[in-house]
Amino acid sequence: MAGAKEKGRNEIAIFAGGCFWCMLAPFAEAKGVIEVIPGYTGGHKDNPTYRQVCSDTTGHCEAVQVTFDTDLTSYEELLDIFWRQIDPTDAGGQFFDRGSSYRTAVFYLDEAQREKAEASREALNSSGRFNKPVVTAVLPASTFYPAEDYHHDYHKKNPGHYKQYRRGSGRDAFLEKHWSTSVK
């Protein structure tokens, strides 16, 4: 895993925002993003499966690994995208997906990412955008296990189901409510 920017290298960022299907498209469409891989991280079981992670027995959560060109986008810009996809005040999962496998977290790969993630979280917490505290964790990255192939580019392979899932889960309504206007 690569961390801080090195000349001629891309950087990796890892974000857990509930269902990884809903995290793929926003990052994949962002300027400077090279690749977004859905997977599992933060737990104790090697090479977990989707079924195992969803059972909440592996310690892992669904996450995305984002490879990006630091000449075209910054880690801070990716953090902004991340916050705008989740309910950072919900410690029990995301929307109708409940349990630790759907928790939110920023997994940092180096000290610079940790500092930026913590500063970003604190700025959001102080912004007044939410009426509850931000509980999203900032944690050291551990092994990232890519998800099964059928999860990759799910939003492209199954656009109807993906859009219905987002709407039905309450994610889209929440994001519209909290991000469509500026904080007063």
Per-residue pLDDT tens over the stretch 162-182: 999 989 999 999 999 998 855
CB contact at 8 A, 74 and 117 = no
Instruction: For residue 151, tell me if it sits in a domain.
Output: yes
Give me the number of domains the chain comprises.
1
Residue type, 143: T
Interatomic CA distance for residues 25 and 171, integer angstroms: 14
More confident residue, 154 or 126: 126
Q: Which residues contact 127 (CB under 8 A, 6 or more apart)?
A: 183
Structural domain for 36, as ranges? 11-179
Which listed residue (19, 22, 54, 61) is catalytic? 19
Strands 61-68 and 11-17, sheet pairing = antiparallel
pLDDT digits (tens, 9 = 90+) for 3-22: 444 455 799 999 999 999 99
Residue 145 has pLDDT above 70, yes or no: yes
Active site residue 22: no
Assigned domain for 3 exists: no
Please report, for the domain that includes residue 161, its CATH number: 3.30.1060.10
Classify residue 184: in a domain, yes or no. no
d(CA 135, CA 158): 31
What three-state secondary structure class fits 41?
strand
Its pTM stands at: 0.91
